[in-house]
Amino acid sequence: MAVVENNGNGRRKSPFSSSVYATILKTIGSVLVTMLGLTFVTFIIGRVMPIDPVISIVGERASRETYDAAYQAMGLDKPILVQFAYYIWDVLHGDFGMSLLNARPVAEDIRRVFPATLELATIGTFFGVVLGVPLGVIAAVKRGTWVDQVARVVALVGYSMPIFWLGLMGLLVFYGILGWVGGPGRVGIFYEDVVPSVTGMILIDSMLDNNWEVFRNAISHIILPASILGYYSMAYISRMTRSFMLEQMSAEYITTARVKGLPERTVVWRHAFGNIKVQLITVIALSYANLLEGAVLTETIFAWPGIGQYITTALLSADMNAVLGGTVVVGLIFVLLNIFSDLLYRFFDPRAAK
């Protein structure tokens, strides 16, 4: 039965029906199953890896008694399913365990490092949208011309070039040779811990502290890794925008609009582009999610203290609590962004809610 609302002059159908709410509940259920599966697979991989987490704590020269005590204290003497059940119970209470590297709660570490990844991915996505959407539109309008060919090559290079290679070349050219940007890290060594951490994002915190010297230094450090991620995002967004626009530009209503004598700018941006905005929402959300989860190599190359570098360091050190916690958080964010984009799609296009 459709959900209706009274507007004073009668009753009209809401864009959302009961089937939509059933779909939302089904989506939530699938999210829970997905997250459970992701956590289980990661947990099992952590247990079968040829790295002994006990050795990471007690050292290779520890006695057998010390090793056995640590082994039991970590719960490794229990069956694997029991270990997993205990872990899920703790996660549901916001407890990802203690990091083996620094003896701090993993949840606390994630809260500390995630804002750096969020800041980097957000700026990268901004670059991708600002450059990718116009590039895709122009390529579609100029289909078959040299403009289209250049746009397609630029997108192909950005989509297929290894991101770690782009990062290394960027550091070599723009930092090592030209000196146009700051080096690895979020700020220079003399600016570390100068501004109080309020949001964890150095650009916002420096503005809140009214410290524009730190802000400028942070900009010089973030511009290169954000541009690398932005180029990758731009390649994906421009390709999808071009594809969507080509489909619209060949539609009959576009031909009709041109026959009526409407200006080409109106035909392209108001009519054709207006009909792909809903699809672009999903594309941009997926691109953003990909940058949040795929910034591992970029953060490693640029010594960016985000969640990607955190997971990498933890993995190399057999700190499986940190690896599991970071993986669960990244997976959850990816799933939530997908749900958010789907809800926006239904909001802006009521036809999808039927």
Tracing tokens 């746009």 back to the chain, one arrives at: 151
Beta strands in the chain (DSSP E): 2-6, 11-17
Higher pLDDT, 237 or 29: 237
Query: Would you say 193 and 328 are in contact if contact means Cβ atoms under 8 Å apart?
Result: no
The pLDDT value given to residue 119 = 92
| 230-266 pLDDT per residue, tens | 998 999 999 999 999 998 888 888 888 888 888 888 8
Please state, in angstroms and as integers, the Cα–Cα distance from residue 270 to each residue in 25, 135, 211, 242, 273, following that order: 35, 17, 42, 16, 6
Tokens of 175: 């930092």
Instruction: Enumerate residues 6+ apart whose C-beta is below 8 A from 160.
Output: none
**Mean pLDDT within 187-198:** 85
CATH class given for the domain over 112-353 = mainly alpha
The pLDDT value given to residue 3 = 43
Task: Return mean pLDDT, the chain.
Answer: 82
The structure's pTM equals: 0.79
Q: Hey, where are the domains in the chain?
A: 25-92, 112-353
Tracing tokens 């390709």 back to the chain, one arrives at: 239
| 60-69 pLDDT per residue, tens | 777 788 878 8
Tokens of 287: 């691109």
Taking 80 as the threshold, does the pLDDT of residue 296 lie above it? no
| 123-162 pLDDT per residue, tens | 999 999 999 999 999 999 888 888 889 888 888 888 788 8
**Mean pLDDT within 295-300:** 81
Taking 60 as the threshold, does the pLDDT of residue 214 lie above it? yes
